[in-house]
Each structure stands twice: as C-alpha cells, then as structure tokens.
Structure 1
Amino acid sequence: MRRSAFVGLGFAVFLAAAPLLPACISAPDGTEEAESTGRASLSLVAETNGRVYRLNNALFAIEGPLFTYLSSSDNPGETVLTAALPVGDYWSVLEPGWVLERYEGGTFVPVQAALISPNPAAFTIFDGSTTELVYRFQTDGTIITIGNGQLDISIEVTEVGGACTPLGAGCGDAEWCVPGELVGGTPACIPGGDIPVGGTCSFEVSNDCVSGSLCGDLTGEGVGTCIELCPPELLGSPCASGGFCSDIGYPEFGICY
C-alpha cells in the first residue's frame, strides 16, 4: 500500500529549482509587461526571555506558480531568507535535516526539538500584500514567536518537558502524543481538535481532528479526512472507528481503514 499524505508530513518532489525572476506576460497590444510579484521573507531566529533560537540547515521547498528552494547557509549571522515570488497559491515544505539550535556559552548548540505545525504549509502571495506563515517547534520551556516581512515563514518554539509516548501517556489534559515521524523529530504533545474520525478536514488547519487522529488523503483526490492512528502493537487488530490497524511503513504507528 502506498503511504498517505498527512498534515505534518512533507512529501514533495521537485525536479529543479526555478530562478526567482519576475516572468513576463503578453498584454492585449502585444507588448510584454512584468507579472505581479510579492516578496518572501523567511525568519530563522527567535528570541524570548533572554534565550535565542536559530533554525539551521533549513531547506524550504516552495511549490506553486513556480518551484524553487530557499535554504539557510553556514553564516552564523544569517537571520532571514528573502525572495521574490509571483502572486498565487503555494505550498512550503521544510525538508528533513533541519536543526534547531539555542545560543549558550557564546555559541549555538543543537537542542532536541519537534516540528508540530503543518508541513507542508499553504500560503498565498498577493500583489503588494503581506502573508505570515509560522513554523512551530517544541522543546523544553516557553513559546517564542518571531516574523516580519512580506511573506514571513517564521519559527515559533514551545519549550516543554520530556518526550511523550506516541499515542500513549505523557501529555496534559485535552492533548495527545503525536508520533515523532509526523512532526520531524521526537514525539510531541498537541491539543486535539473537534472533527471526528471520518469527518472532512482541511490540510491548511493545524490539529482540527480529534485526539488520536490526523488529517490525511487516502484516495489521492486531495480531500482531507480525519483518520484514526493506532500503535504498532495493534497492527491487524480491529479499530474503534472501524476497519483494522494497518501498516503503512512507519515504525511508530499504523492507520485504521
């Protein structure tokens, strides 16, 4: 069986990065005029309560009217990535390999973190307008939010305690433990939504399905449905929502269908 596309999973294939140059379109009189564009600004640094965080080794795949990549460099002073994009609807995917770092003792050191916001994330570029897109990470402590610019792909860091057990214990009231494979790192506690299993959900909204389920597309038609997840020890067993716990290639969980 092929893998389904879940909110939190960044499945995207790009053949090549397109140049970030404004295209031209033909006017009725045969002349050419520049296509409307917006500006993309991707913040890489967040600061709160005296702590500075930096997203390093970050590669954002941008898919829409054009395909391109925006990536961080080895320059420790780099805080923002910018690019011009034609107006239109886009998806942004933070590719695997990113590292969240915290400034300690005069240098940045890696910290354990999990991406808990939707990946890929949808956004729209409007001519002369601004759009904000926030990436949220979970580690140990308080919430950190940054971001300014025409399109702000920013980071928000939530500091919490130790890791939870996927689909098990370790989270507070009204929260459940999402497998690390779905959030790009260690398992993370997130609040459950109010859309029941089997209900129609939106890929553009984070965590709108009830606890223990995520928005996925099993048909390939681009329609989101809340799908119950199940722990690997229950593979082959009946699910409460119907169907059986089925293996789709992830060690930490299966899905019910």
Structure 2
Amino acid sequence: MFDDFLVRATLAGIGVAIGAAPLGCFIVWRRMAYFGDATSQATILGIALALALNLSVIVGALAVALVMALTVTSLSGRGYSMDTLLGVVAHAALASGLVAVSFLSGVRLDLMAYLFGDILAVGQTDLAVIWLGVALVIAIMFWRWSALLTATLNTGLASASGINPKREELVLTISLAIVVAVAIKVVGVLLIVAMLIIPAAAARPLARNPESMALIAGVIGALSAVLGLRASYLYDTPAGPSIVCVAAGLFLVSNILGRFRVA
C-alpha cells in the first residue's frame, strides 16, 4: 500500500490536517495568525542548516521553529509586542536562511518545493515523521486542552485558577512549531498558515462548542487534503495550492450553511 505515492501523499495530508485542526482553533481564538506565518518563514533557515549538515529537512525546520518559539515567548512582554518580536525574528531567520543557501556548494535547493510544498514526494520516512509529530501534538492538546482554553478565554481567570498563562502560551507555540515543521513537505512554507487557519475558520459557523470546532476543523482539513489531491491528479495542478483552494471553498460553504442555521 505504501508503494503508492498518492496513498502516502493522502496519509500525509490527513495527518497534517488532524494535527493542525486544534491548533488552528487556538490561532483563530487568540488572533495569532502571524505566528504561524512567521514560524514558517523562519524554517527556511532550518532547511539550509539541515542541507549543510546532511540532516533531515524536517529535523532542521523543527529545530529552528522550536528555537524561534522559545525565543519569542521568553522575550514577549519585555517592551515589545508579540507581532514586533515575530517580525524581527522571522525575517532575520528567513534572510539568514536565504544567505546560507547561497553558500551551499554542490547542493541543489528547489525553493519552489519548500515554498509551496511537494506532497507527492513524501516518502515512508517522511510519513512516519509527520505522524509522529502529529501524535505528539494531539497528545499535548489532550493533556493541556482545559488549561489552554481557560488561558485563551480569560487570563485573569486562568491565573486565579492556578494556571500560568505564559506557560500555556509556550505550550501552544511549541506545538505550532512542531506542526509547521512536519507540514513543510505537504503544503510548503507559504501555505502552512492557510491550513492552520482556514479549516478552523470554516468550522466556526458549524460548531456549538470549542471541542466540536476542533473536531469539525479536523474533518474539513482532511477532506481538503483528499479532494485537493484528487483535483491535482485530475487537472494536473500543484498539489499544495490545490489543497488550500479546496479548504477555501469549504470555508465559503460552511459560512453559507452557518447563515441558514442562524436564520
């Protein structure tokens, strides 16, 4: 079964969708869309370092994403807003990555594949790493869901309940870094944030509570991956952008259905 590249691509897309769904909900609730975008840009440096050290691209991207998450979280609240810190760190890492790539002799880097994804080239090892990363993120979400939700809704209530909002923010940013790193081969650096936000936003009009929103977002994300790959195969379109286009279409459908439900 795993010899079929379309099966591997579909499993990779579904895995990323499942891992991104609960995190996407928190991004929507916390209005943290820029974090996903900034983290994905910073992973270019991780890709360059991985190629230079002959390591897995996912390992390099994950290392840089984690360092960025820890750096931004530790520096936030010290005179700079989160958006400012993200802008500085992300663009510095992106520029450093592009400069580092120019020094790699004998290494051919397909930037388009990393920017827009190359899901059809996902191998068995990549698939295993993706699902391990997704399993880790889902485990973290189960473990910290209540605390994360409380800290998201009301930081004052969280503090009064013995929950450290700063710690929960760190947990969330680390989880986001993991998903961004494992999703690079699926939708690419520029489209990762779309897969985080669009399914969650599409689920919002159909959900009755936070838990159902996360579940519906996972279903929408997985459906986007399956239908996007099918459309890419039939019409010879780029796989990553096709997945995001399907997700955007489902977002429109869900909002129309949500209006009928309210009426």
Tell me, yes or no, whether TM beats 0.5: no
More helix by share: 2
More relative contact order in 1 or in 2 (CA 8 Å, sep 6+)?
2
TM-score, length-scaled by structure 2: 0.30
More strand by share: 1
TM-score, length-scaled by structure 1: 0.31
Instruction: Specify the structure having the higher radius of gyration (Cα).
Output: 1
